[in-house]
Structures are given as structure tokens and as C-alpha cells.
Amino acid sequence: MTGFGGPAPDAAVYVISVAAELTGLHPQTLRTYERMGLITPGRTAGGGRRYSHHDLELLREIADLTAHGIGIEGVRRILDLDNRVTALRLRNRDLQAELEVTRAALRRARIAAGTAHPNTLPVLRHSVTGQSVVVWRPS
């Protein structure tokens, strides 16, 4: 549950008719998207579909892309690339955190060994474009 008493974004609570109404899509379209593997709604013990808020957002995104003339295979590719970008961002965040922990440990080790000097640690600098990283070490 969220802080406002509503369901969590991933809680599968909406029946197909409600999901269709909330997204402006026909229930058969939702079933088709499921068959195509674009969406995977939750299921009840009896086999009924249940959609989450996250599912509704995905359905709206699919509808928006198709409304702009993108075919289903293009939509599939866009969603796949979007998922990859999200995964890479999370991995990058994890690696940055790991780097900071490693740098702190290295700093502590150098201080403990009495070899600490402000210019002995590598410095990471982002280029103007923000696309590359240069590692600088003093000579």
C-alpha cells in the first residue's frame, strides 16, 4: 500500500474492463498485447487478469507509440531498449557507489600506512559532453 491508502504501483488490482477504461483501449487489445508478450498482467487463482498501475502506464505508453505510427515490432524494440537503459542506469549507480566505497577504503589505508598525499588518488573527470570519463594520475 502507498502512504495514501491506495495500492502499491506493482499491485495487480484492476480487472481487464477497468484497465481498458483507464487506458482508453479495448479489452481485446489488452489481450492481444498480452499474447504478443508486450505486457504480463497478474492472474487470480481462477485465471482472471489483474493489472497494476505500472501495467496501466505501460499500456498507455504502448498506445502512445502506436498512435504515433510505430508498429508493434517497433514498440517491442523501444520497450526492450528502454528496459536496457533502465538496467544500465541502475548498474552505473551501483558501480559509482562501489567506486566511492573503494576510494574511501583506499584513502583510509593510505592514511593508516602514512602514505596519504592529496594528489595520489585517481581523479575522475567528466568531459564537456558528459559522455566520457578520463582517469588522471599525477606523475
pLDDT in tens, 9-52: 778 889 999 999 999 999 999 999 999 999 999 999 999 999 99
The structure's pTM equals: 0.65
What is the C-alpha to C-alpha distance for residues 22 and 107, in angstroms, rounded to an integer?
Answer: 54
CB atoms near residue 22 (< 10 Å): 14
Contacts 24+ apart (CB under 8 A), 65-71: none
Between CA 69 and CA 86, with CA 19 as vertex, the angle to 5 degrees is: 60
Cβ contact 136:123 at 8 Å? yes
